[in-house]
Amino acid sequence: MERAAEWSGPGARAPRAGFSWAVLLWSLVYPQRGHRILPTIPGVILIALALGIGTAAYNSSSNILFITLSLLLACLILSGVLSWLNLRGTEWRLQLAPPLRAGHDAVVGLDLRNGKRFLPTYGLWFEFLAKPVDRYGPARAESTVTASGAEVKAALARAEAAERRGRVPQIGRLDPRGEGRVEWIVRPAERGRLRVELASVGSLFPFGFLRKDVGTEVRCDAIVWPAPTEYRRHALGAARRVAGGERVTRPGTGGDLLAVRRYTPGDSHRLIHWKASARTQTLLVRQLAAESAEGYSLWVRTEGGMWRRPEQFEVLVSLAATLAEDLFRTGRLVAVAIDGGGPLPVRRVHDLELFLDALAVLRISEQPFAPAPETGAAGAEPATGTPRGGRQQVITFVPDGVRGVAAYVDGQLAASA
Amino acid sequence: MSRASARRPQLTLTELHQLKWLLGAGLTLLAVGTVFYMEVDAWVLMGLTAAATVATAARPGLPARVPRLAHWLAFPAMVAFFAGDLWLKTEILPAMVRLAVMLLLYRNITYRQRRDDLQVVVLGLFLVVVAGVLTVSLTFAAHLLVYTGCALALLLVITLTDAATGGKKQPPVPVGETPDWAQEADWGRLAGRLREVSDWRVLGFGAVLFAGVVGVSALLFLAIPRFQLENSMFLDRLITKKARSGFSDTIKFGDVTEIQQDTGVALSVDVSDQSQIPASPYWRMLVLDHYENGTFRLSLGLVGQEFGPGRTHALVHGDVKPQLGVATVWTFFLESGVSRYLPLLGRFELLRFREVQNFRLAPNLGLLALREEPASMTAYRVEGFDLSGVLPDPGFAQRWRERAEANPRRGTLQVRLPLDAAEQAQLAQLGREIAGPGRLAAGDFAQRTEEWLRRNHAYTLSPSIPAGAGDPLVRWLVSREAGHCELFAGAFVLLARASGYPARVVTGFRGGSWNGYSNNFTIRNADAHAWAEIFDEARGAWLRADPLGTSAAAQAAEPRGEQALVSRMDRSWKARLDSLRVFWYRRIVSFDTASQAETLKAMKEATQSTGKRLREEFAAAVAKVKAWLAQPWDGRRLLRIAAAVAALAALVWGWREFGRGWLRGWSRNRGAKGHPVRREAGGWLRRLEAADPDDPRVRAAIAELQRLRYGAPGTWPEPQGAFRRARVAARIGRPREDAVMAAGK
């Protein structure tokens, strides 16, 4: 697989392999993966014309017809040469800017570069393919010997239904030594790992006789975060304050000193910690803490016994992701945890992104559901294993009916989706 | 799309549509132009199509005015026309040609979609190929090349248009509506835009590629394996041929002279052995034995008597016996429209057609007639010509000897004179004056009669026959009026027959020029000629008698070969053009398996000889170097070598230090000056000189234009936008007329 960030294509400098006529001839007989040349309707007409004229030429021994036949064949050769020249020196680079979110448009960019000295490049199109990775196991049936036809068809249908394909044409001319960009808008249907590929680069240039497709190995993997969901707040805002409840300290403009750090251009001079700077011979500034607020921790449990319906599990993941983002935005997200994993403090955007990444690939675990002994009921607040080992302001999730999901804070319903 | 696109403008979608429309019109004109030389009765349709195409190309809005009814009726009408045409004329090919022209007409009065453009290309190719097959003319090669170039350009523009629309299928233009591109059509502006967007390097490269296509097709033509299928179907059998001009079985006085007005090539002849070429070749085509009231014709009696049954073959065996040694081969390329009687120098040993033909041979007359008038060039090779100018005719000799016997099936003796008694007596009297009291041998009589005719009549292409009663030829004969070859030949025949000698008129060509470039005879229609033949009883043969040329007896004494060619040598520009035609016939039209083998053999020999020469040159160079090294070394020699090495080093250093940089700078400046964006910016700056400099929009436009004109390409604003703003600024900054008038007052 070629790395997406690198230039690839006919014009990219590849390590020069030893030239071999055998390899060249074999590539003509058995093209590389994805390479395909198919006649278009004008091409079929041209071939039919050539066949007809050739038959007439042999039938009549007319050199006029032989000339016409030769000219038609030469035009086909010219078409091939021009098509090769058009692609020669052209490079592309896939650019995928995260974040990707299920149900939301994302831009897949393809940078183009024409390395030729004076010949422009015309009329390319780019076939993009986005497909989930390992979403339903192997994307295609591995064997058709043991599998029944229905199974194969079903596997293929599933794989194709999850795929997103798109063709983006190159509008206009890519000048010699010029660069350009095409963009493909893709909307991932579901969370998870997504592989975006430049499946092929095609062209009808120059005369439209042949449709040439050049397969590429350019691909790029990304994580699609869960789709945000609408939820109903119940008591999160009115949740009781717990004495000694966890408070959030984070950089801000409050009055308390949080830390001392190196000076970076743009810092106010008033924040310079002169004493510490003099002591360390390094310019240091004070980092103040933000006004504190009560924080919450999110704990997502994935036991299969609790989440028997996959679609309900998807609602759980979406609700967890949405709550996490909302809480982080208001500065009240303290930590996150998934199942028995240790709680992870969330201080920076990066921490939140890590949590969303984890949610994106979250699966229902095989572990049986163990109800909390204190509550004795499913959906109640868990007794053990809470983040930071405490019982403070932990948001947990339980199924709510057959489709919904409810979020509880210390046993009180806080939100539902 | 492209970041570098600011450097050179691109054609917009509208302009691409306009270009496509224009190229389609060009293709249509090229295609219907084939009717000019196809001999198909489609002149009216062709004129209509050409006129409609030119009109719609000039004003692309016109197709919107075609009424809806016309679109509804178009295809039923065409189908009905085709069916009617086929039924009435029973010729499939002309009907198809007319149908193709009609379809082209319709495609040019409607806005074309992609498939319609492809239809234009295919229909045009059909017309060009049919014209080529039917005419086998050199024009076809030029026509096909131009057509191919235009068709490829059209297909390229279609591809670019599709790419510009992102591959989306364009909806058809509703009937009665004018598309945007047609409303905005301005061909002058489009030409300017094409100049702007064109890069001379790309254009040059395109020209080289097209030359490559021609070269590759030539190679393919040579390399395609050939084999011949018998009983072939050929396009020219689907059309009834008719001669445009030329010799037929009946010739009135003036017919040959009329042919002489045409300076076009009638015949090209290759000769394998130039030493055999006679000084005055007479290319016999037709024998006219029957005379009546100013008209000579080939009598049915002679046809039935001398012409054999019709045959279909590629080989014709003559009655000349094979000679020892290699026979001289004469290759004839007879143009269409000349005659169905093939020009020959006399009797022959073997005649070989390029393809199977239907023909009838008259060995005693030395004539060969095709069944039908060839509509295209006819090629044939003749071996073992009898060039003596004497045509033995043992059958006629036998009949002549037995003329006194009453034999109703004897056949024509070619002495009949359908004149009244007075005219016959007048001619007999003249014969006696010419020949004297005794009976001369035929050759002597011919010689005296030729001299008499030359003495009494001058040569002219515009003769006048004295008015009066009786036979016109006799009136001319007894007058002192000038005449042309037919009058001379006819008068000779009348005099000979009146004196009791069998005689007849022969038509064909005389002479011709020797093309100094392609080394072949070129016989033009202007070389058409008529002469006579008189039967020599003693030799049992017909002798040529030409009052205006060379008799058979005189020809025997004339020089042959190169000496004979000197006076006929033609190295004019016309000959250069004719040599192209001969090349076309020799190398292209007559190319067959034998030619293919010869070409391969020639290539092999050329490669071998080139390799040998290179090896020899290399060996000689090595020997020279060795000899140079072996020369005694002394101080002066060393000094000379050192000086040469130093000079070379200085040259290299100078080039690397100064020359290369100067060349790069020069080419960069040259390219910059010629850049279309800079040129257009300069034009706008000149236009804005008269604008109000205080207007901020004018100032901004000038600043942008100056950046485009003089700035580095990387700093340019988007050119089209800048030009648009400049246009607005020019409009704003233009002094108003009333202000100007007020200032004037």
What is the model's pLDDT at position A390? 44
CB within 8 Å: A74 and B216: yes
Between the CA of residue B671 and those of B198, B205, B223, B684, what are the distances in Å? 13, 17, 43, 20
A48 touches chain B (CB under 8 A): no
Kindly state whether B13 is in contact with chain A, defined as any CB-CB distance less than 8 angstroms.
Answer: no
- Residue B403 has which token pair? 């003329």
> pTM value?
0.69
Query: Using CA atoms, how far apart are residues A375 and A224, in angstroms rounded to an integer?
Result: 36
B489 pLDDT band, cuts 50/70/90, is: very high
Cα A206 versus chain centre, distance: 34
At residue B678, the 3 state secondary structure works out as helix
CB of B314 less than 8 A from some CB of A: no
Strands A90-96 and A106-114 turn out to be antiparallel
Dihedral, CA of residue B675, residue B681, residue B683 and residue B686, to nearest 10: -140
Q: Let me know the angle formed at the C-alpha of B101 by B99 and B105, rounded to the nearest 5 degrees.
A: 115
Whether B234 and B357 have beta carbons less than 8 Å apart is answered as: no
Minimum distance, in Å, between the CA of residue B543 and any CA atom of chain A: 40
**CA–CA gap between residue A124 and residue B164 (Å, rounded):** 10
Which residues in chain A are closer than 8 Å to B234, comparing Cβ atoms? 59-60, 62
**Closest Cα partner for A259 from A247, A244, A249?**
A249
Helical axes B200-223 vs A63-87, angle rounded to 10°: 140
Size of interface A-B (CB pairs under 8 A): 170
Q: What is the distance between the alpha carbons of residues A187 and A100, in angstroms, rounded to a whole number?
A: 9
Q: Which residue of B has its CA nearest to A113?
A: B2
User: Is the CB of B160 inside 8 Å of chain A's CB atoms?
Assistant: yes
CA distance B522 to B508: 14
CATH superfamily of A1-10+23-225: Immunoglobulins (2.60.40.10)
Tokens of A253: 């403009």
| Neighbouring C-beta atoms of residue A178, cutoff 10 Å | 22
Compare all CA atoms of chain A with the CA of B150 and give the residue at the minimum distance.
A207
pLDDT in tens, B525-563: 888 899 999 999 888 999 999 988 766 566 666 666 677
CA dist., res. B640 & res. B22, Å (int)? 67
Contact assignment for A65 to B129 by CB distance below 8 Å: yes
- State whether A61 and B355 contact (CB < 8 Å): yes
Residues B79 and B187 in one domain: yes
Question: Is residue B708, in this structure, part of any structural domain at all?
Answer: yes
Q: What is the pLDDT of residue B582?
A: 85
Neighbour-count burial of B243, counting CB atoms closer than 10 A to its CB (0-12 exposed, 13-18 middle, 19+ buried): middle
Measure the N-to-C terminal CA separation of chain B; round to a whole number of Å.
54
What token pair was written down for B727? Answer: 């246009």
Q: Do B355 and A59 touch (CB under 8 A)?
A: no
More confident position, B298 or B589? B298
B204 and B299 share one domain: no
Query: What SS3 class is residue A260?
Result: strand
Chain A residues touching B164 at Cβ < 8 A: 171-172
Query: What is the distance between the alpha carbons of residues A375 and A303, in angstroms, rounded to a whole number?
Result: 18
* Tokens matching residue A279: 């002591």
Residue of B217, B224, B591, B595 to mutate, testing the A interface (most A Cβ within 10 Å of its Cβ): B217
Residue B664 within any structural domain of the chain? no
Asked if B433 and B494 count as a contact pair (C-beta separation under 8 A), the reply is no
Whether B132 sits inside 8 A of A75 (CB atoms) is no
Secondary structure E strands in B260-406:
265-271, 282-288, 290-292, 295-297, 311-317, 329-334, 350-362, 367-370, 378-383, 390-392
Distances (CA, A) of B430 to A93, A268, B253, B498, B683: 104, 138, 22, 9, 88
Tell me which residue range forms the domain holding B373: 250-400+410-588
Residue B684 has pLDDT above 70, yes or no: yes
Residue B446 within any structural domain of the chain? yes
Residue type, B469: A
Query: Are B258 and B189 contained in the same domain?
Result: no
Give the SS3 label for residue B33.
helix
Say if A60 is an interface residue toward chain B (CB within 8 Å).
yes
* DSSP letter string, B567-609: TTEE-SHHHHHHHHHHHIIIIIIT--HHHHHHHHHHHHHHHHH
B125 neighbourhood in chain A, CB within 8 Å: 49, 68
Residues B487 and B577 in one domain: yes
Q: Is A35 helix (H, G, I), strand (E, B) or coil?
A: coil
The reply to whether B56 and B113 lie within a common domain is yes
> What are the CA-CA distances from residue A410 to residues A237, A247, A379, A395 (Å)?
13, 16, 11, 7
Contacts of B162 in chain A (CB under 8 A): 123, 204, 208
What residue of B is the nearest CA neighbor of A45? B122
Measured distance CA(B177)–CA(B65) in Å, rounded? 8
Q: Is the peptide bond before A99 cis (omega within 30 degrees of 0)?
A: yes
Annotated domain spans of chain A? 1-10+23-225, 232-247+294-416, 257-288
Mean pLDDT of B167-192: 87
Of B538, B573, B588, which one is at a domain's C-terminal end? B588
User: How far away is chain B from the Cα of A232, in angstroms, using its nearest Cα?
Assistant: 45
Please name the member of A67, A180, A205 whose beta carbon is closest to the beta carbon of B588.
Answer: A67
Instruction: Let me know whether B172 and B273 are in one domain.
Output: no
* ipTM of this complex prediction, to 2 decimal places: 0.74
The reported pLDDT for the residue numbered A405 is 92
Domains in chain B: how many in total?
A: 3
**Given CB atoms, is B199 within the 8 Å cutoff of chain A?**
yes
Task: Determine, for residues A66 and B167 on separate chains, whether the beta-carbon distance falls below 8 Å.
Answer: no
The tens digit of pLDDT for each residue in B310-356 reads 998 889 998 888 777 778 899 999 888 788 899 999 889 999 988 78
Report chain A residues whose CB lies below 8 A from the CB of B212: 78
What φ, ψ does residue B543 adopt, rounded to 5°?
A: -110, 140
pLDDT for position B467: 85
Residue with tokens 């197709």: B63
Residues B218 and B301 in one domain: no
| pLDDT digit string, tens, across residues B102-119 | 999 999 999 999 889 999
Please say whether the beta carbons of A359 and A225 come within 8 A. yes
Work out the minimum CA distance from B132 to partner chain A, whole angstroms: 6
Residues of B in contact with A82 (CB under 8 A): 209
Instruction: Report CA-CA distances (Å) from B659 to B606, B648, B653, B667, B670.
Output: 41, 14, 9, 12, 16
pLDDT tier, B185 (very low <50, low <70, confident <90, very high otherwise): confident
If one counts every other C-beta atom within 10 angstroms of the C-beta of residue B12, the result is 16
Q: Is B227 on the interface with A (CB under 8 A)?
A: yes
In this complex, do B589 and A41 lie within 8 Å of one another by their Cβ atoms?
A: no
Torsion over CA: B81, B85, B91, B97 (sign): negative
Among candidates B3, B159, B228 on the partner chain, residue whose Cβ is nearest the Cβ of A178: B3
Q: Are B525 and B472 within one domain?
A: yes
**Alpha carbon distance, N-terminus to C-terminus of chain A:** 41
- Closest by Cα among B47, B135, B78, B675 to B377: B135
Same domain, B70 and B197: yes
CA distance B145 to chain A (A): 9
Q: Which of B208, B399, B477 is nearest to A82 (CA)?
A: B208
Which of B585, B560, B575, B559 lies closest to B514 in space, CA to CA?
B575
CA-based R_g, chain B, Å: 37
What does the alpha-carbon distance between residue B688 and residue B728 come to, in Å, rounded to a whole number?
10
Which residue in the set B7, B8, B118 is minimally distant from A45, CB to CB?
B118
Q: Which of B223, B240, B261 is the last residue of a domain?
A: B223
Report the residue count for chain A. 417
A75 contact B CB<8A: yes
Q: Chain A partners of B221 at a C-beta cutoff of 8 Å?
A: 63, 66-67, 70
- Tens of pLDDT along chain A (417 residues) come to 444 568 888 877 665 566 678 877 887 777 777 788 888 888 898 899 899 998 888 887 788 889 999 999 999 899 988 998 998 889 999 988 878 999 999 999 999 999 888 899 998 999 999 988 865 554 454 555 666 677 777 777 777 777 888 999 988 889 888 889 999 999 998 899 999 999 899 999 899 888 888 888 888 889 999 999 999 887 544 445 444 445 556 666 667 777 888 888 778 888 888 998 998 888 898 887 765 556 888 999 988 888 888 899 999 999 999 999 998 888 888 899 998 888 888 888 888 999 999 999 998 887 765 554 443 334 444 434 444 444 458 899 999 888 899 998 877 888 888
Strand pairing of A164-169 and A124-132? antiparallel
Per-residue pLDDT, averaged over B474-479, amounts to 89
Asked if B74 reaches chain A (Cβ–Cβ under 8 Å), the answer is: no
Which residue from A58, A125, A173 is facing B2, i.e. has the nearest CB? A173
- Residue A61 and residue B228: Cβ atoms within 8 Å? yes
Nearest to B554 by CA among B531, B538, B522, B570: B531
What stretch of H or E contains B48?
A: helix B43-58
Task: Give residue B651's pLDDT.
Answer: 95
Provide the pLDDT for residue A13.
Answer: 64
Neighbouring C-beta atoms of residue B276, cutoff 10 Å: 16
Instruction: Please indicate whether, in this complex, the C-beta atoms of A49 and B589 are within 8 angstroms of each other.
Output: no
Mutation to test the B interface, candidates A71, A73, A78, most B Cβ within 10 Å? A71
Coil, strand or helix at A288: strand
List CB contacts (< 8 A) between B218 and chain A: 70
Q: Give the 3-state secondary structure of residue A293.
A: coil
Residues B342 and B216 in one domain: no
pLDDT at A372: 47
With contact defined as beta carbons under 8 Å apart, do B488 and B494 qualify?
A: no
Helices and strands of chain A, counted as H and E runs: 7, 20
The answer to whether residues B338 and B440 belong to one domain is: yes
B212–A contact, CB cutoff 8 A: yes
Asked whether the beta carbons of residue A68 and residue B232 sit closer than 8 angstroms, the reply is: no
Q: Any CB–CB contact under 8 A between B202 and chain A?
A: yes
10 Å CB burial of residue B686 (0-12, 13-18, 19+) is exposed
Determine how β-strand B295-297 pairs with β-strand B290-292. antiparallel
Residues B163-173, mean pLDDT to the nearest whole number: 82
pLDDT above 70 for B384: yes
User: Is the pLDDT at B235 greater than 60, yes or no?
Assistant: no
* Best residue of A60, A65, A118, A183 to probe chain B, by most B CBs closer than 10 Å: A60
pLDDT digits (tens, 9 = 90+) for B252-283: 777 777 777 777 888 899 988 888 888 788 99
- The residue among A45, A47, A53, A67 with the most chain B CBs within 10 A of its CB, best to mutate, is A67
Residue A92: other Cβ atoms inside 10 A: 25
Q: Which residue of B has its CA nearest to A76?
A: B213
Judge if B209 and B332 occupy the same domain. no
Give contacts of A59 with chain B, Cβ < 8 Å: 229, 232-234
Q: Is the pLDDT of residue B74 over 90?
A: yes
Q: Give the nearest chain B residue to A41 (CA atoms).
A: B115
pLDDT value of residue A73: 92
Residues 119-158 of A with CB under 8 A from B: 119-120, 122-123, 125
In a domain, B646, yes or no: no
Phi (first) and psi of residue A339, to 5 degrees: 50, -135
Interface test with B, best of A70, A126, A201 (most B CBs within 10 A): A70
Residue type, B734: R
Helices (H) and strands (E) in chain B, counts: 26, 17
- Chain A nearest-CA residue for B209: A78
Domain boundary among B588, B616, B647: B588
pLDDT score at A250: 62
Q: Do B158 and A208 touch (CB under 8 A)?
A: yes
